[in-house]
């Protein structure tokens, strides 16, 4: 977000902070379940499609459960907030929107022939 003065330049954002006590998840079944939740949250359908972690991989991965005691969030949206006298300056001000989007999938160079892009990826890539 560009204002008329450098001091008032900013960025529209979303931010969250959580506070709580972390506890290691050491039970293998709980660890696998927690990792499955994360995988499905990031890309629904991927967990059933990909190889599951080996015992060695699980041992090398730390999973922490956090019981949230408190949390706060902050959001900044909208136009610049210049000082009143700065609105008369002949300087462009406004919002430069930024968009995160999925681009075309790039197959791994070592991918075997005939392996098609999974439907769950086709759905999000359009």
pLDDT at 2 over 90: no
- Each as own residue / partner, the long-range contacts of residues 94-97 (CB below 8 Å, 24 or more positions apart, any chain) are 94/1, 94/2, 95/1, 95/2, 95/12, 96/1, 96/2
Question: What is the tally of helices (H) and strands (E) in the chain?
Answer: 4, 2
- For residues 125 and 47, what is the distance between their CA atoms, to the nearest angstrom? 18
Statement: residue 126 has pLDDT above 90: no
Q: Are 80 and 1 in contact (CB under 8 A)?
A: yes
Residue 18 has pLDDT above 90, yes or no: yes
Every domain of the chain and the residues it spans: 6-101
What tokens does 12 get? 């529209």
Residue 3 confidence (pLDDT) above 90? no
Fold for the domain defined by 6-101: Pnp Oxidase; Chain A (2.30.110)
- Dihedral angle sign, alpha carbons of residues 76, 78, 79, 82: negative
Percent of the chain with pLDDT over 90: 80
Flag whether pLDDT at 19 surpasses 90: yes
């Amino acid at each position: 977000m560009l204002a008329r003065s450098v001091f008032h330049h900013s960025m529209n954002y979303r931010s969250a902070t959580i506070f709580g006590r972390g506890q290691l998840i050491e039970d293998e079944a709980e660890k696998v379940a927690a990792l499955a939740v994360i995988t499905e949250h990031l890309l629904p359908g991927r967990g059933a499609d990909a190889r599951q972690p080996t015992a060695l991989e699980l041992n090398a991965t730390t999973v922490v459960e956090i019981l949230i005691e408190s949390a706060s969030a902050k959001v900044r949206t909208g136009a610049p907030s210049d000082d009143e006298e700065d609105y008369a300056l002949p300087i462009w001000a406004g919002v430069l929107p930024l968009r995160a989007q999925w681009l075309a999938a790039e197959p791994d160079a070592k991918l075997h022939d005939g392996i098609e892009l999974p439907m769950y990826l086709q759905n999000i890539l359009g």
